[in-house]
Amino acid sequence: MALNPYTGLPAERFWRKVVTNVPPFAVNPHPKDTFVIAPTDKVATGGSCFAQRVAEAVRGAGFNYYLTEPPPPGMSPEEANARQFGTFSARYGNLYYTRQFVQLFDRAYGKFEPELKAWLRDDGRYVDPFRPTVEPAGFASEAEVIAARDAHLAEVRRLFETLDVFVLTLGLTEGWRWRADGAALPLAPGVAGGTFDPELYECVNAGAAEVLGDLNGFLDRLWSVNPKARVIFTVSPVPMIATYMDRHVMESNSYSKSVLRVAAGEVVGRGDPRAVYFPAYDIVTSNVNAGRYYNEDQRTINDAGVRHVMRLFLATFARDRVSPAPTHAPVDLAAEFEGNAGVICDEEEIERSVA
């Protein structure tokens, strides 16, 4: 038989060998050229609501989950969850749109001071427009919002300067921003505070070039204060809850996830060993699973999906702590419910606001 470029390639290059003839729950798209996370490494998380599932799994797997804004002593678990202490490594709330990562850094280091200071809610309380759901009771004044934000940003600086590994989950390309200075927001005004005025706010839908620019910009900023930091990029497999674009939400979701996946691949393609891509999105959304990793809403990820993702995560970044793949697909409905019950997703405020 004549030789061709595919002769002698490893099994992982052929769908039939590593997908067709493998049980779905054992499919293992193992990333290459990764690093090892030591037990002492401070592992931080940020991004969309799926990043919370990653954070829970990181803690459960025995990694050193890093918090610079832990709950105060004596605070109940219920209050801590409601006020997002421990939801992410700092209380920045959901970071959906990639420009938020860049601006979070710039705001923390005094390089960007948005004109927008606070949103007023219908109940007369104020919220921080850049993390509008972290204080359910709100603030009594704009001054209180600013003071709390300043304290928070100090902890963000500490996080960026002292973390060892940052697991960054990309969620959406659609976002809202303040027209005057481009300040990126996690939610549209009027959803969890503020009032929508199209003269002041605009919806944006980033393309691959913009997202790639944001990711490269964030890496350059992070490495300027923490040259040894390592970053693991993932893409959330959780579909968007609503689109502002004039088209079906499924079409918008496909566009959004495709752009994020392309940008993540491009940014790690720059060849810096400190940045890698982890295929959580690829595992959960693959057609080989026939939707098994989604709950009945066809949106949230069940516990079996998270377990599959974390088995591969351990096999990739902590090989000394890896568990063997199961011989049958595990199902634990109670665990699936509990796993999703505590996840705080700012996006869900959109549905509540129009109910």
Q: Where are the domains of the chain?
A: 40-354
Alpha helices in 118-238 (DSSP H): 142-162, 208-225
The 10s digit of each residue's pLDDT in 101-136 is 999 999 999 999 999 999 999 999 999 999 999 999
The 10s digit of each residue's pLDDT in 60-109 is 888 999 999 999 999 999 999 999 999 999 999 999 999 999 999 999 99
Rounded CA-CA distance 181/112 in Å is: 9
Rounded CA-CA distance 4/1 in Å is: 9
Q: Which phi and psi (to 5°) does residue 309 adopt?
A: -60, -45
Report, as an integer, the average pLDDT of 26-50: 91
Give the distance from CA 304 to its chain's centroid: 19
Query: Does the pLDDT of residue 337 top 50, yes or no?
Result: no
User: In the numeric block, which tokens belong to residue 40?
Assistant: 């002492």
The dihedral through the CA atoms of 320, 321, 327, 328 has a sign that is negative
The residue ranking higher by pLDDT, 341 or 97, is 97
Rounded CA-CA distance 191/212 in Å is: 28
Query: Does the pLDDT of residue 24 top 50, yes or no?
Result: yes
Q: Where are the beta strands (DSSP E) in the chain?
A: 42-47, 64-65, 119-120, 126-127, 165-170, 174-178, 184-185, 201-205, 230-235, 275-277
HSE value, Cβ hemisphere, 13 Å, CA-based, for 72:
3
pTM for the model stands at: 0.90
* pLDDT at residue 49, rounded to an integer: 80
Confidence of residue 266 (pLDDT cuts 50, 70, 90): very high
Rounded CA-CA distance 289/287 in Å is: 5
The dihedral through the CA atoms of 259, 265, 271, 273 has a sign that is positive
